[in-house]
């Protein structure tokens, strides 16, 4: 048995998620794709696939007969619109999976805390950079005595950053930094995003810097390798590009971190690449693919645990 879902947003992320559900999900099925642009490619593609659509936003969705059968609503619109959507879905008793940086609900990163918030009516998928890098922050944290600081740099193709992504750049950095702390376990987190205009477009690349205490390099290497395997169960194109690099930060030259002061420990540098599955988007758009894959994995776990 499958359960109906609705997707708010007919742009790149919403359309890719729709294709993933149709092609790969055994627990979910498409109910409605919702947009606001009657000419959007996503809505046209949905109609060709036999999926119900509306170009009247969430108000159009709630007026459709299909609304009654929808169990899960994915929001792939914008942080500014999500508050309104979340309130409507909460009152209607729908489970919401938020792919915007609004972060009204708790942050969820599947290989770290997928089961932690299944009782919450709204869970947030952080950001593409967060989904790619927070597993590695946590991989260091779970073997270390302490993780005072973690910083991530997400570099994505400019072509894969649509108007929604560009409008949410500030929210991206703030939401990702918070989740590095609340989910990844770092005492202080920082996030940077780079939109790279290179042609041909580059695959998503991420760099994770951590400053840990109480763990040896061999322990971190093993934990990073295990975590990469876990992420690949739902994002096959997720790769650690080279051996983790280490540097000892001693008392003779401590690292000065704003808000923390002078800190010592083991600096780890982890280099990642995320290649998309190319269900709808090009393979270089791994930043969007990891978001839709994480959202799908979270929704399927919710259905498995709550509706089985």
| Sign of the Cα pseudo-torsion (43, 129, 239, 206, in order) | positive
Active-site pick, 102, 128, 191, 297: 128
CATH of region 128-283: 3.30.360.10
Residue range(s) in the chain whose domain bears CATH number 3.40.50.720? 3-126+289-306
The confidence score (pLDDT) of residue 154 equals 96
pTM over 0.85: yes
Stretch 279-302: mean pLDDT, rounded? 96
Per-residue model confidence as pLDDT tens digits over 252-278: 999 998 888 999 999 999 999 999 999
Residue range(s) in the chain whose domain bears CATH number 3.30.360.10? 128-283
Coil, strand or helix: which one is 16? helix
Per-residue model confidence as pLDDT tens digits over 156-178: 999 988 777 787 788 889 999 99
The confidence score (pLDDT) of residue 302 equals 97
Per-residue model confidence as pLDDT tens digits over 33-87: 999 999 999 999 999 999 999 999 999 999 999 999 999 999 999 989 999 999 9
Q: How far apart are CA 123 and CA 97, in angstroms?
A: 5
The confidence score (pLDDT) of residue 217 equals 98
Return the CATH fold of 3-126+289-306: Rossmann fold (3.40.50)
The confidence score (pLDDT) of residue 140 equals 98
> Can 128 be counted among the known catalytic residues?
yes
């Amino acid at each position: 048995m499958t359960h109906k879902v609705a997707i708010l947003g007919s742009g790149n992320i919403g359309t890719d998620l729709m294709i993933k559900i149709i092609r790969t999900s055994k627990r979910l099925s498409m109910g409605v794709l919702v947009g606001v642009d009657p000419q959007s490619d996503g809505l046209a593609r949905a109609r060709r696939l036999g999926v119900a659509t509306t170009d009247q936003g969430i108000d159009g969705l709630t007026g459709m007969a299909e609304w009654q059968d929808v169990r899960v609503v994915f929001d792939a619109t914008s942080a500014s619109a999500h508050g309104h959507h979340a309130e409507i879905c909460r009152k209607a008793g729908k489970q919401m999976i938020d792919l915007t940086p609004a972060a009204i609900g708790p942050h969820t990163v599947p290989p770290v805390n997928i089961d932690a918030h299944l009782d919450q009516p709204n869970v947030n998928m952080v950001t593409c950079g967060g989904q790619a890098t927070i597993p590695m922050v946590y991989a260091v944290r779970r073997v270390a005595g302490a993780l005072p600081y973690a910083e991530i740099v997400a570099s994505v193709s400019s072509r894969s950053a649509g108007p929604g992504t560009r409008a949410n750049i500030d929210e991206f950095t703030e939401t990702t930094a918070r989740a590095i702390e609340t989910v990844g376990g770092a005492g202080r987190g920082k996030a940077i995003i780079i939109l790279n205009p290179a042609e041909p477009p580059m695959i998503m690349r991420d760099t994770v810097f951590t400053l840990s205490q109480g763990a040896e390099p061999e322990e971190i290497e093993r934990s990073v390798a295990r975590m990469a395997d876990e992420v690949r169960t739902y994002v096959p194109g997720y790769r650690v590009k080279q051996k983790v690099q280490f540097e000892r930060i001693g008392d003779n030259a401590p690292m000065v971190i704003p808000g923390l002061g002078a800190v010592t420990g083991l600096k780890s540098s982890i280099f990642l690449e995320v290649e998309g599955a190319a269900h709808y988007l090009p393979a270089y758009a791994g930043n969007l693919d990891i978001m839709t894959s994480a959202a799908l994995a979270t929704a399927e776990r919710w259905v498995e645990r709550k509706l089985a």
